[in-house]
Amino acid sequence: MKDKLFRTKDPPVLGVVVVVPGLNNKPAVMDSLVRRLNKSGFHCLRVSLYESRSSDHLSSEAIAERWIQEVEMAHSRLTKSYKRLPLFNLSYSLGALVTIRFLQMKKSALFRRMVLLAPALVLAKRASLIHFVTPLSAFGLALPSLAPDAVRARSATPLREYAAMLRMVSEVESLAGAEKIGRIRTQLFLNPKDELVSYQGVRDWVQRNTSEAWTLDSIRVGSEGAYQHLVVSKDALGKVAWKELAGKVTRFFKGPDCIAESSQP
């Protein structure tokens, strides 16, 4: 598993966080938030959904399974290593989708609270057009990434990975049989102008599938005309918006029901 554990330097440790980036993201895109959580008393295990080895030989189903396994291994590792500490999830875009699918499949798995950033639960009309080209994934084709260079791991994303994402979108359309997910205290942040994720679609999904434990908050990218799919770096969001986001995430994980029984694992 290609992950990295970030430890807070000063005790007490309040909790541990599984951090999951998005499709074709450099894992480091989440590091500014990870460092903020470290300073606030949280250990963070950051996983990667991107692997340098080629996935050309894998089916979209196998790729999706591999993503779920990454989150599962991180969840298992932290659950075993930090038995007395609450376990949280912080995920972005595809990472949020994979997290929900993991919880849907692994009935016994739970997080104390979750923060989902631009969760790819419902795609915007523009992004939905990918449906028409994913059948070409059998030829090993890829599409250029719209994400800024500082964020993307590769200049193009294999169609097989898009097909794996679309498979998951359809699988989480309904949470029937996995109602426990809707009861996890969850905060979602989404830009109403997001090019890839539908704000209205996600809001409807939340209302249809979850309880009052889930809340949706809007947040905007600082620069007009910039890439609007919420990028969680200071440069992309702007200092003011990033500071506001980081503060909300930290306070949410420090909620009154999240106090650890012990300050050490």
Q: Answer whether residue 51 shows pLDDT above 70.
A: no
* pLDDT given for residue 138 in this prediction: 64
Kindly tell me the burial class for residue 79, based on how many C-beta atoms sit within 10 Å of its own C-beta (0-12, 13-18, 19 or more): middle
- The rounded mean pLDDT for the chain is 84
- Residue identified by tokens 């059998």 is 138
The rounded distance, in Å, linking the Cα atoms of 148 and 143 is 14
Residue of 11, 4, 15 whose CA lies nearest to 185: 15
Where in 83-180 does DSSP place strands (E)?
87-92, 113-117, 142-144, 156-158
Q: Answer whether residue 85 shows pLDDT above 60.
A: yes
Q: Answer whether residue 136 shows pLDDT above 70.
A: no
Residue of 212, 235, 57 whose CA lies nearest to 140: 57
Helix/strand/coil for 176: coil
Question: Lowest mean pLDDT: which of 154-163, 168-177, 245-254?
Answer: 154-163
Residue of 98, 132, 131, 97 whose CA lies nearest to 202: 97
* pLDDT given for residue 261 in this prediction: 47
Residue of 67, 60, 68, 16 whose CA lies nearest to 37: 16
DSSP count for the chain of H helices, then E strands: 8, 9
Question: Lowest mean pLDDT: which of 126-130, 205-209, 254-258?
Answer: 126-130
Peptide bond preceding 12 in cis form (omega within 30 of 0): yes
* pLDDT given for residue 37 in this prediction: 95
Superfamily of domain covering 4-256: Alpha/Beta hydrolase fold, catalytic domain (3.40.50.1820)
Q: Mean pLDDT: which of 10-14, 47-51, 85-89 is highest?
A: 85-89
* pLDDT given for residue 96 in this prediction: 96
**What is the mean pLDDT of the segment spanning 181-209?**
93
Question: 6: part of which helix (H) or strand (E)?
Answer: strand 4-6
Q: Answer whether residue 66 shows pLDDT above 60.
A: yes
- Enter the tokens of residue 25: 């993201």
* More confident position, 255 or 116: 116
Question: Taking the model in full, what pTM does it have?
Answer: 0.89
* pLDDT given for residue 78 in this prediction: 95
Region for residue 140 given its phi and psi (left: phi exceeds 0; alpha: psi -120 to 50; beta: otherwise): left
Give the model's confidence band at 259: pLDDT under 50 very low, under 70 low, under 90 confident, else very high: low
Sign of CA dihedral 187, 203, 95, 209: positive
Question: Is the separation of the CB atoms in 222 and 237 below 8 Å?
Answer: yes
- Residue identified by tokens 């905007």 is 220
Q: Answer whether residue 265 shows pLDDT above 60.
A: no
Per residue in 205-231, pLDDT (tens digit) is 999 999 899 999 988 776 666 677 877
| Percent above pLDDT 70 for the chain | 83
